[in-house]
Amino acid sequence: MGLMRFNYRSEIIGMTTDVTICYPTGMLTVLDRPPARPVEKGGVQLPAPPEKFKYVPGMKFQTVWFLHGGGDDDTTAYRFTSLERYAEENQVLLVTPSVRDSMYVNTEYGIRYMDYITDELPKVIRALFPASEKREDNFIMGFAMGGNGALAIGMIHPELYSGIVDLSGGIGLTLDREVYREQMTRNSMGRNRLVGCLKGADDFENTDHDLRYIAEKDLAEGKDVPPIFIGVGERDFVQPRVKKDYEHLKDLGFNVYYEEGKDLGHEWDFWDLYFKKSLSQWLPLKKKPIYPGEE
């Protein structure tokens, strides 16, 4: 219940940019004891108020780096779903950068969005906001273009996160090289954008735009890739692609969970439902702030 749009000049992007930051302040209190609340009102028994946590200097929050979809920006998901409410219920800080249609990679046209998210933004956020620096307190999650983004960032930087959520990811980096090639060559809606961002169909193999290569490297190097949660609407047009990513991951032996949203497509009703499920059930959140000395 504390929402801000932080606007600052990013050094890696080289431009002023917006970051939406969502604090779970609705369950925090400055009071030593909450005020006595009436147990009934209008003759009706009231529910017990939720437990409150204290505001304390040096307190930290678990952080979900929440990635927006293609065509969207840092504000959209907060407006079109009840995301802020789910964050509050789970006492987690959400941070959503705005990456334009960059597929969350270090783009071919020169702007290094992946470095922005994994290097600059954590430094800025952890200096200016009470975001825990520990891997166990950090998670990456996204939907649509941000689903692929979360999967790719989480597998390229598994040392930074202890959970990955990919919802409806179907465009951008993938473990399926045929799908990658197809999206770079077919005359489809997003092709022009992809071409500017990603390495071409003939050049991407065994680079950091090739998630198959990344996955095998993670295994070869014994990297500790965190649990991966994948969700997609049963009727989503990207469902076949999302399922392929899941199958590749399972075949390679990663800790991966897959679920389809019954009767749902590539739509906000699916995302609203699965934003809640991801934060409330999938990710192993502490559901409380981290106080000094507890770390």
Whole-number Cα distances in Å, 51 to 28, 48, 93: 9, 9, 18
Residue 144's Cβ-count burial label (10 Å; 0-12, 13-18, 19+) is buried
Position among 15, 48, 202, 220 found at the interface with a copy of itself (CB under 8 A): 15
Position among 31, 33, 51, 221 found at the interface with a copy of itself (CB under 8 A): 31
Position among 23, 143, 246, 254 found at the interface with a copy of itself (CB under 8 A): 23
E strand intervals along the chain:
2-9, 16-23, 28-29, 40-41, 44-45, 53-54, 62-67, 92-97, 138-143, 164-167, 228-233, 256-261
To the nearest whole angstrom, how small is the minimum distance from the Cβ of residue 287 to a copy of itself? 18
Footprint on residues 148-167 left by a copy of itself (CB under 8 A): none
- 192 contributes a contact to a copy of itself by CB under 8 A: yes
Position among 64, 65, 67, 78 found at the interface with a copy of itself (CB under 8 A): 78
Query: CA 264 from chain center: how many Å?
Result: 20
**Distance (Å, whole) CA 14 – CA 148:** 24
| Sequence-distant (≥ 6) Cβ neighbours of residue 142 within 8 angstroms | 66, 67, 68, 69, 104, 148, 149, 150, 165, 166, 167, 169
Site string for a copy of itself, 93-132 (x = CB under 8 A): -------xx-------xx--------xx--xx-xxxxx--
To the nearest whole angstrom, how small is the minimum distance from the Cβ of residue 159 to a copy of itself? 17
Position among 64, 72, 90, 146 found at the interface with a copy of itself (CB under 8 A): 72
**Which is nearest to 232 in space by CA: 259, 267, 269?**
259
Position among 14, 50, 253, 284 found at the interface with a copy of itself (CB under 8 A): 14
Find tokens 């939907």 and name the residue.
Answer: 143
Give 260 or 272: the residue with its C-beta nearer to a copy of itself: 272
Site string for a copy of itself, 197-236 (x = CB under 8 A): ----------------------------------------
Longest dimension (CA), the chain: 72
To the nearest whole angstrom, how small is the minimum distance from the Cβ of residue 240 to a copy of itself? 6
**Distance (Å, whole) CA 233 – CA 269:** 10
- 33 contributes a contact to a copy of itself by CB under 8 A: no
Position among 136, 176, 182, 216 found at the interface with a copy of itself (CB under 8 A): 182
Cβ–Cβ under 8 Å, residues 153 and 114: yes
To the nearest whole angstrom, how small is the minimum distance from the Cβ of residue 51 to a copy of itself? 15
- 255 contributes a contact to a copy of itself by CB under 8 A: no
Stretch that binds a copy of itself, among 72-80, 156-164, 211-219, 224-232 (CB under 8 A): 72-80
For strand 16-23 and strand 92-97, is the pairing parallel, antiparallel, or unpaired?
antiparallel
- 176 contributes a contact to a copy of itself by CB under 8 A: no
